[in-house]
Amino acid sequence: MEDIMPSLETLSIAEMIDLQGHPVIISTLYGGKSGKRFDGNVFAIDPISKSIILIRFEEMSDNALEILTMMGDSIESIDICADPSPNCRLFSVGLINWMNSLLGVTDFKESDPHSDENSKRRAHLVEWLRQNCITVAEKPDGSVVIFEAVRVTAPFRPSDCICHNGIVLERVKNIVAKANL
């Protein structure tokens, strides 16, 4: 079962970040015609080129089989899988933590948005932002989105802010710093 999603070109940065860790099927173009289909979990999406890094797993194992880079202009469609194939894993915080460990984020407790400490930090940040009339939304993955543009992940420090617009990013980092977490 697949959930059809809008074109990669129309996704916002926040929607691209939300895809991290989700099992997907990517249909590619070859010579202007439909080509192969690849399944795996989204590791990252480049917001400029729309290229996707996909992690495929060995069947019946948690070992990564391969990491593929799908160039944005070769992607025909991307569909989220409700029932992952053997080369995919279900979306989970544990999977996200494992993916983050590939980039050197190894302190899972610090990066786990559902730990007691980070839950308190997130609640304090959200409350402080709302008291100061700042638009904030809590996401299912444990992160928060400020001004519908900047995602803040655990442990909710200024350095944990993500945004493609440098000016907005700096201003939101300053706001998060003022929350005194």
Would you state the pLDDT for residue 105?
57
Would you state the pLDDT for residue 14?
78
Return the structure tokens found at 76. Answer: 């025909």
- CA 165/CA 145 separation, integer angstroms: 14
Please, which pLDDT band fits residue 6 given cuts at 50, 70 and 90?
low
Please, which pLDDT band fits residue 64 given cuts at 50, 70 and 90?
confident
- CA 153/CA 113 separation, integer angstroms: 7
Interval 129-158: pLDDT, tens = 999 999 999 988 888 999 988 989 888 989
Please, which pLDDT band fits residue 172 given cuts at 50, 70 and 90?
very high
Place of tokens 């100061």: 132
- CA 11/CA 137 separation, integer angstroms: 18
- CA 103/CA 65 separation, integer angstroms: 17
Distances (CA, A) of 52 to 48, 63, 105, 131: 11, 20, 21, 38
* Cβ(83)–Cβ(1) below 8 Å: yes
DSSP H or E run through 121 = helix 116-131
Q: pTM to 2 decimals? A: 0.61
Interval 98-132: pLDDT, tens = 787 777 655 555 666 667 888 899 999 999 999 99
148: which DSSP letter?
Answer: T
